[in-house]
């Protein structure tokens, strides 16, 4: 009686080795390339779901507020940065409403890529609309940055 494999050099009791399917490698490679492209587009171009990577945010100090014709909207004045504004800059204001006060935070969002031509149209102040959940009433409006109260400008309803 013979001992060992029937064919010399072959181990007949070993099971075949399992391999990953060839398409799985392509799928992982394409997925990795898409992720890299989305991150690069967000960082370099400031576009896509990761556009925040390609933007800088600068907190600006609000200096005054004024009521508008709508009870649920006020306007907040911010001092423009010394360098001015670029054409693609966005000024945003957010209100945090408390029981007896409204805290206002203003932010300048600017793209990281390249330089821009600065425009200083409209003077040193820029008025931004801020939507409120409740009418302002007798609540105090303060700056969220330094907690100082803002002066009320009653020159005209915006």
Helical residues (DSSP H) of the chain, grouped into ranges:
22-40
Q: With CA atoms as reference, report the closest residue to 98 among 62, 133, 63, 127.
A: 133
Clarify whether residues 42 and 120 are in a common domain: no
pLDDT at 34: 92
Q: What tokens appear for 17 in the block? A: 């080795």
Residue 30 structural domain:
22-54
Residue 33 is inside which H or E element, if any?
helix 22-40
Contact 126, 78 (CB under 8 A): yes
Clarify whether residues 85 and 131 are in a common domain: yes
Please give the tally of structural domains in the chain: 2
pLDDT at 83: 72
Q: With CA atoms as reference, report the closest residue to 47 among 57, 58, 33, 37.
A: 37
Question: Is residue 158 pLDDT above 80, yes or no?
Answer: no
Quick: pLDDT tens for 5-48: 566 666 655 556 667 788 888 999 999 999 988 777 766 665 55
Quick: pLDDT tens for 99-116: 888 889 888 887 766 566
């Amino acid at each position: 009686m013979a001992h060992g494999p029937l064919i010399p050099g072959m181990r007949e009791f070993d099971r075949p080795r399992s391999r990953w399917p060839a398409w799985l490698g392509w799928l992982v490679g394409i997925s990795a390339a898409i992720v890299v492209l989305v991150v690069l587009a967000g960082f370099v171009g400031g576009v896509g779901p990761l556009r925040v990577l390609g933007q800088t945010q600068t907190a600006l100090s609000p200096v005054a507020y004024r009521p508008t014709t709508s009870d649920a909207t006020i306007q907040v004045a911010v001092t423009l940065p010394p360098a001015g504004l670029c054409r693609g800059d966005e000024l945003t204001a957010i209100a945090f409403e408390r029981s007896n006060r409204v805290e206002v935070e203003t932010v300048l969002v600017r793209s990281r890529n390249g330089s821009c031509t600065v425009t200083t149209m409209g003077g040193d102040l820029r008025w931004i609309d801020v939507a409120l959940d409740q009418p302002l009433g007798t609540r105090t409006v303060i700056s969220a940055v330094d907690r100082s109260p803002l002066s009320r400008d009653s020159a005209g309803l915006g």
